[in-house]
């Protein structure tokens, strides 16, 4: 267990480094799956869903391919979609593509909560009631351990070739007690977005390499833009509300300052040290200076709104803002991305994010639900999905695809080299409690409610007690 974080880190660095511009990485991992036929036929149809019967019975319906669709019945399944950035459009296009093969499966896409913390809570409410309301769900990369007991084993439904196509560390991440509880759909990592026009206007040749440089540049640009009449302009926006997104931001400040990574792969709590205190004090000093006072209630959407309006010089975000920024008439041609700045460690840090697709154990239509999950995450759909969302793909071969290289230009070793996973493997089903204690403590420092030294001393005790 404890080796897994190391494996993930080494793997993401080495594999993606190997596969970006030149040759694909060799993946030697043994399949973790029984080699068996993928999809079982379901029981003969009970006429349970008459609502979905087509009216025009004369019209020829396309044949249903059972090896893809899992069932010949007409069924409706519910998929919990992503309302953030361009994901909704990519998901609707995915459903349309799926329906070309499986017109008998209606996918009812509903918006999940935009906050992954609230989304997790909503899943747990449904699952603890063993309700069949949700069939296919999005699982944050940190949550296979927390949700695993409620999800089907997708080893039983996924073709071996598809399993072999993924970045192997993600399959390790998504395996809970020997069961593959989710299939990977996208890779995420924290990155710095910046305005190329404004850097040039204020005489900066390159993006900031350290947090101090970022603060100086942000302040200079903000002062200049405000002097020119834009009272709404801010230097730096990020995610500071008390939720999982703050855990991601704060871990980057901490790791880049050399303060450890919350809980080490060996299970040691690493939060109460001078480097972390200094990192969080520095972040607190941004509030109301280069970042808006409301920064401590910002989630992804709030930061991206300021950025897309042209009212920020820098933004910390995930790859998804690349798509929305490119589409923006205001900033579409005047931005690019860079690695996040370094702290006292001399290196930057980028939190590994990403999402997986799981199927509820309580689904009334497991074959259809698994068929949709497998299709969504398979190579045919994954390429479109990566281009539409600008998230780096989870299928290794796609990194050699020129269309992907053009649409997702930062999917290169330059950025992924510094990806750090959150401690979700070592803390397993306690991860969400670990993260909640962490972001609550950091939030109290950012709002000035508690000083950093006191907050981190208490956090250390709380985490040690939780994990003992």
- Compute CA distances 104 → 93, 138, 345, 366, whole Å: 17, 22, 55, 14
CB of 42 to ligand GLC, least distance (A): 33
Integer Rg of the chain from CA: 23
CB nearer to ligand GLC: give 173 or 291.
173
Distance CA 404, CA 422 (A): 27
CB nearer to ligand GLC: give 74 or 244.
244
CB nearer to ligand GLC: give 5 or 368.
5
Residue 357's contacts (CB-CB under 8 Å, 6 or more residues apart) are: 136, 137, 138, 139, 182, 183, 184, 185, 373, 376, 377
CB of 133 to ligand GLC, least distance (A): 23
Is 29 in contact with 168 (CB distance < 8 Å)? Answer: yes
Distance CA 452, CA 458 (A): 10
CB of 434 to ligand GLC, least distance (A): 13
Site residues (vs ligand GLC, CB under 6 A): 116, 140-142, 188, 244-245, 248, 300, 318, 353-355
CB nearer to ligand GLC: give 39 or 248.
248
Sign of CA dihedral 160, 166, 169, 171: negative
CB of 438 to ligand GLC, least distance (A): 12
Q: Which residues pair with 106 in a beta bridge?
A: 76
CB of 142 to ligand GLC, least distance (A): 6
Tokens matching residue 113? 């909560």
Is 206 in contact with 285 (CB distance < 8 Å)? Answer: no
CB nearer to ligand GLC: give 140 or 462.
140
CB nearer to ligand GLC: give 155 or 243.
243
CB of 54 to ligand GLC, least distance (A): 38
CB of 187 to ligand GLC, least distance (A): 8
Is 322 in contact with 85 (CB distance < 8 Å)? Answer: no
CB nearer to ligand GLC: give 142 or 368.
142
Is 52 in contact with 106 (CB distance < 8 Å)? Answer: yes
Distance CA 39, CA 55 (A): 29
CB of 435 to ligand GLC, least distance (A): 9
CB nearer to ligand GLC: give 148 or 188.
188
From 18, 144, 55, select the one nearest 431 (Cα to Cα). Answer: 144
Residue number closest to ligand GLC, CB atom = 353
């Amino acid at each position: 267990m404890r080796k897994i974080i190391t494996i993930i880190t080494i793997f993401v660095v080495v594999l993606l480094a190997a596969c970006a511009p030149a040759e694909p990485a060799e993946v030697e991992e043994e399949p973790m799956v029984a080699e068996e036929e993928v999809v079982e036929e379901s029981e003969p149809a009970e006429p349970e869903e008459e609502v979905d019967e087509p009216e025009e019975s004369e019209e020829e319906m396309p044949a249903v391919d059972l090896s893809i669709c899992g069932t010949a019945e007409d069924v409706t399944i519910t998929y919990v979609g992503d309302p953030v950035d361009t994901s909704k459009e990519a998901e609707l296009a995915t459903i349309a593509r799926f329906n070309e093969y499986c017109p008998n499966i209606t996918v009812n896409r509903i918006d999940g909560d935009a906050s992954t913390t609230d989304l997790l809570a909503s899943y747990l409410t449904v699952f603890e009631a063993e309700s069949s309301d949700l069939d296919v769900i999005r699982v944050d990369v940190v949550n296979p351990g927390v949700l695993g007991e409620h999800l089907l084993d997708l080893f039983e439904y996924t073709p071996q070739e598809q399993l072999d196509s993924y970045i192997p560390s993600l399959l390790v991440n998504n395996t809970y007690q020997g069961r593959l509880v989710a299939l990977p759909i996208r890779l995420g990592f924290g990155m710095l977005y910046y305005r190329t026009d404004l850097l040039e206007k204020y005489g900066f040749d390159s993006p900031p390499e350290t947090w101090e440089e970022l603060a100086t540049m942000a302040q200079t640009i903000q002062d200049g833009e405000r002097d020119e009449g834009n009272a709404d302009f801010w230097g730096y926006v990020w995610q500071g509300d008390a939720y999982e997104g703050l855990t991601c931001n704060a871990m980057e400040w901490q790791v880049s300052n050399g303060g450890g990574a919350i809980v080490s792969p060996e299970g040691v709590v690493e939060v109460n040290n001078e480097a972390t205190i200094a990192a969080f004090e520095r972040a607190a000093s941004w509030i109301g200076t280069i970042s808006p006072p409301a920064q401590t209630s910002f989630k992804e959407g709030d930061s991206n709104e300021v950025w897309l309006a042209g009212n920020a010089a820098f933004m910390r975000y995930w790859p998804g803002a690349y798509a929305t920024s490119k589409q923006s008439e205001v900033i579409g041609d005047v931005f690019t991305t860079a690695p996040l700045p370094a702290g006292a460690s001399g290196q930057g840090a980028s939190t590994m994010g990403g999402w997986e697709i799981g199927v509820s154990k309580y689904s009334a239509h497991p074959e259809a639900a698994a068929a949709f999950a497998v299709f969504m995450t398979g190579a045919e759909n994954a390429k479109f999905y990566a281009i539409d969302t600008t998230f780096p793909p989870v299928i290794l071969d796609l990194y050699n695809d020129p269309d992907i290289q053009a649409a997702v230009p930062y999917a290169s070793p330059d950025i992924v080299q510094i990806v750090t996973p959150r401690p979700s493997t070592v803390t397993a089903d306690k991860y969400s409690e670990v993260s909640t204690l962490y972001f609550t403590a950091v939030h109290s420092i950012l709002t000035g409610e508690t000083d950093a030294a006191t907050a981190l001393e208490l956090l250390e005790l709380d985490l040690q007690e939780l994990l003992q």
